[in-house]
Amino acid sequence: MMTETTTTTTTGTLRLGTRRSKLAMAQSGLVAQAVRDVTGRPVELVEITTYGDTSRESLASIGGTGVFVSALRDALLDGAVDFAVHSLKDLPTYGAEGLVLAAVPKREDPRDALVARDGLTFEQLPDGARVGTGSPRRAAQLNAWARALGRRIETVSIRGNVDTRIGFVRSGELDAVVLAAAGLNRLGRIGEATQLISPDACLPAPGQGALAVECRADAPELAAQLAVLDDPHTRAAVTAERSLLATLEAGCSAPVGALADVLAGGPATELRLRGVVGTVDGTSLVQLSTTGPVPATGGEAAALGRELAADMLAKGAAGLMGERAL
């Protein structure tokens, strides 16, 4: 770790560290504009290449956790950038010394989206359809869904940006691919989705659709300004989801799905947390849910995640997380 840092000044241009992909640049651009509005200061996007961007291996084989994050955090700690924007689902569940999670802005649509040939929905895919995904979590739930429909699919491991993945369908190599709806929304391409998949059929990755804004701990004034972007309901939800993931001792490439959402109505407002762990072939799933009062503190949200994870472990979840290959 570095021995000294560059403290952010209160005037001048702020440097925002971002990955180079179109999606990362799009979502960082949204945050940059919000920060300009809040601080009145110019924001410059600084493009940084991460290991996850250059490796052609599957995310499961390279460990997944932190591969899109470490280079951005190093740039922060080295003073090369003032703050960074991550897809929160890529962020390790443990913090980084010297950094603070300054804001979790309002979440985009957390659902997965299907892009299939001929405008097909998942239910309309033929038996034996080839469906591309780089996610063991998606593979597990999609295979289970197909089984419930009395059919089978072949999940094919893919990597690449949105253009590359959708290109597999356009070329006829695959019948469909599954991507995050949030990414398609941020790129203005949600119209290419042939179906938005209900969380009842496929729970998203913990933190999917949310962004994380990090800065150095030695820049409290900047952290306070960035905190204006924080959405309390989103932070509570992703805290519960990530606590579940951490308690399961699973990384972001594990076949684990989780979604916390606020249930309004009735005499009280509650936070519902759903979780799933499964084998990639979809033959075994542990799916549980719980509810609690909308948390007033991060500690309460984290406790909800730990409690559900403990229940899932008691149902045999630990034995299902070792199968990672698609």
Q: Contact 261/237 with Cβ under 8 angstroms?
A: yes
Of 84, 104, 98, give the one whose Cα is nearest residue 44.
84
Q: Enumerate residues 6+ apart whose C-beta is below 8 A from 172.
A: 117
pLDDT band per the 50, 70, 90 thresholds, residue 212: very high
User: CATH 3.40.190.10 residue ranges in the chain?
Assistant: 14-106+210-230, 112-197
Buried b (16+ CB within 10 A) or exposed e, 281-292: ebeebbbbebeb
Q: What is the mean pLDDT of residues 162-173?
A: 97
SS3 state at 292: strand
With a cut of 80, say whether residue 324 has pLDDT above it: no
Name residue 272's amino acid: R
Q: What is the mean pLDDT of residues 183-198?
A: 97
pLDDT band per the 50, 70, 90 thresholds, residue 6: very low
With a cut of 50, say whether residue 73 has pLDDT above it: yes
With a cut of 50, say whether residue 55 has pLDDT above it: no
Q: What percent of the chain has pLDDT over 90?
A: 76
Higher pLDDT, 53 or 45: 45
With a cut of 70, say whether residue 66 has pLDDT above it: no
The CA distance from 112 to 222, in Å, is 34
With a cut of 60, say whether residue 126 has pLDDT above it: yes
Place of tokens 């309901």: 233
Q: What are residue 319's phi and psi, to 5 degrees?
A: -75, -10
- The pTM (predicted TM-score) of the whole model is 0.88
Summarised one tens digit per residue, pLDDT across range 275-307 is: 999 999 999 999 999 998 887 777 899 999 999
CA end-to-end distance (rounded Å), the chain: 36
Mean residue pLDDT of the chain comes to: 89
Top CATH class of 112-197 equals: alpha beta
Q: Contact 216/5 with Cβ under 8 angstroms?
A: yes
pLDDT-wise least confident of 20-24, 57-61, 199-203, 306-310: 57-61
With a cut of 60, say whether residue 92 has pLDDT above it: yes
Pick one of 2.60.40.1120, 3.30.160.40, 1.10.10.10, 2.40.50.140 as the CATH number of 236-320: 3.30.160.40
User: CATH 3.30.160.40 residue ranges in the chain?
Assistant: 236-320
List beta partners, residue 16: 45, 83
- Whether residue 90 lies in the annotated active site: yes
With a cut of 60, say whether residue 57 has pLDDT above it: no
With a cut of 60, say whether residue 4 has pLDDT above it: no
- Please identify which of the residues 90, 109, 112, 175 carries the catalytic annotation: 90
pLDDT-wise least confident of 2-16, 43-57, 69-83: 2-16
With a cut of 80, say whether residue 68 has pLDDT above it: no
Buried b (16+ CB within 10 A) or exposed e, 1-27: eeeebeebeeeeebbbbbbebebbbeb
Q: What pLDDT is recorded for position 295?
A: 79
Q: What pLDDT is recorded for position 11?
A: 66
**Side-chain-facing half-sphere of 174: CA atoms under 13 Å:** 22
pLDDT band per the 50, 70, 90 thresholds, residue 56: low
pLDDT-wise least confident of 124-138, 220-234, 266-280: 266-280
With a cut of 70, say whether residue 13 has pLDDT above it: yes
Whether CATH 1.10.260.40 fits 14-106+210-230: no
